[in-house]
Chains A and B, each alone.
Chain A
Amino acid sequence: MIGSSRDTNLATSDSALAAFEEIYRRNVDVVMAYFARRCAEPQTVADLTSETFVRAAGAFASFDPGRGSARAWLFGIAAHVYAGHCRQTADGRDAAARLAGRRALETDEIDELAARIDAERAGRELIERCSQLPALERAAVELVDLAGLTPKEAAAALGVSRVVLRKRLSRARSRLRKEHHSDE
């Protein structure tokens, strides 16, 4: 974990490696949770989390902190990774591709990830409830209400303006509230 002394060291370092490590340690849990809300298999969650950070490391030179937070940037990558995973699954290429490149998890890692997937059950249920919403509204609810991004960060991750994000978020919440009341 990042302690205060470590933070100081990282903050003063010019190394991109140190900066990337800081970003990794601050965000790996939320990125993993993002996939744990979507996938029930520990191995899939591990693969998608790994792929997100591998892509992020490769693209770190293009990351511009002036355009949005690192978390928003990572969620943008994670969304692409997940979309690719869904396409592969739909094409039936997923199993072979993952078996070819996957890193085998140890038992305690599987336990950790299974616990994480379990902890995200409520989030997964909310996402399922959001399934009738338009994609942008669903994504807005997840990034802001589940992943804890600020509306500004979520807007950056989704590539929309803050005004649009706020409108979609408000509309989605309103629909969910109505749905909830009608269920009762």
Chain B
Amino acid sequence: MSKFTDRLWRELERGHGAELEQMSRPAPKRRRRPQLLLGSTVALAGVGTTLALVLGAASSSPAFAVTRNHDGTITVRIMRTSGIAGANARLAALGVRARAVPVLAGCSAPTLTPVRLGSLRDQAVVARALLAARQAARKGVLNARIDPRKIPAGRVLVFEAKRAAVMVHAAAGQAVAELPPACLAQGSPPCAVPSKVASGNTGNSGATGDSGATVGAPAACKNEPPPSSLTGNTGNSGATGNSG
């Protein structure tokens, strides 16, 4: 080392040493090659579909994986029910308005608001999504690819995640307009008459929806707020990548 480089290092250490000490040593971030889902991107949110997917039995593999793909889509894989909270936290950290919600027998929360699928194109998207989900379910995992840009403003995409035998169940649900409940009841009928959501319910920043604090809250039977209410939470910034 020369005098210049030694001196430069001392200055760097003085200026950034404390900050660097707080960090952990960078390690290669786990990267899964996103599975090619049948059809194309599962643009679930655009049509508001709820999927109930089969979760496999426990294994030694990671419980979940949330991967940002090069095309801006997000791949969510949940291998065990214990991975739901982690996957939701990761989605929240990425600013993606999508949540997996477990389906539990004793859950008192109502099911999600049903939606009528409008166009043939929407129906085709749903069909592709379901096909992809079925494929994934055979492997015992929840596997979905989401395009966050296609989630309508003011909506939260909800995946029903339940551990079942074989079937992939598709409910004619809707990407909800409020904080998703912490759980969904098994087999409960959809809400008959949606009502308005309080305008103050604008949050989808992760903590509440993931924590289980809203168990039993009748959030999912309410109508959607104005579309602008969640638009502040659309960014997907800063997850990966080396700067420079």
Within the complex, what minimum Cβ distance (angstroms) separates A20 from chain B?
A: 5
CB distance from B3 to the nearest CB of A (A): 6
Is B20 within 8 A of A60, CB to CB?
A: yes
Chain B residues bordering chain A, tally (CB within 8 A):
32
* Segment with Cβ contacts to B, from A69-77, A132-140, A147-155, A170-178: A69-77
Judge if B26 is at the interface, Cβ distance under 8 Å: yes
Interface size class of A (residues with CB under 8 A): 35 or more
- The answer to whether A14 and B25 touch across the interface, beta carbons within 8 angstroms, is yes
Q: Given that A17-B21, A19-B26 are known contacts, is A64 also in contact with B15, CB under 8 Å in the complex?
A: no
CB closest chain-B residue, reference A21? B9
Q: Is B7 among interface residues, defined by CB-CB distance under 8 A?
A: yes
Q: When the two chains form their complex, are residues B25 and A16 in contact, meaning their CB atoms are under 8 A apart? A: yes
- CB-based contact B5/A28 at 8 Å: yes
Tell which of A16, A54, A109 touches B24, judged by Cβ atoms closer than 8 Å: A16
Q: Is the CB of A20 within 8 A of B20?
A: yes
B68 CB, min distance to chain A CBs, angstroms: 12
Residues of A that sit less than 8 Å from B by CB: 1, 13-21, 24-25, 28-29, 32, 46, 49-50, 53-68, 73-74, 76-80, 103, 105-106, 108-109, 112-113
Q: Known A-B contacts: A62-B241, A62-B242, A105-B4. Give 7 more (CB < 8 A).
A: A20-B16, A53-B8, A54-B16, A59-B243, A66-B28, A77-B244, A78-B244
18 example contacts (A-B, Cβ-Cβ < 8 A) are as follows A15-B25, A16-B25, A17-B17, A50-B8, A57-B19, A57-B20, A58-B19, A59-B243, A61-B23, A62-B243, A67-B240, A67-B242, A68-B242, A103-B11, A106-B3, A108-B3, A109-B7, A112-B3
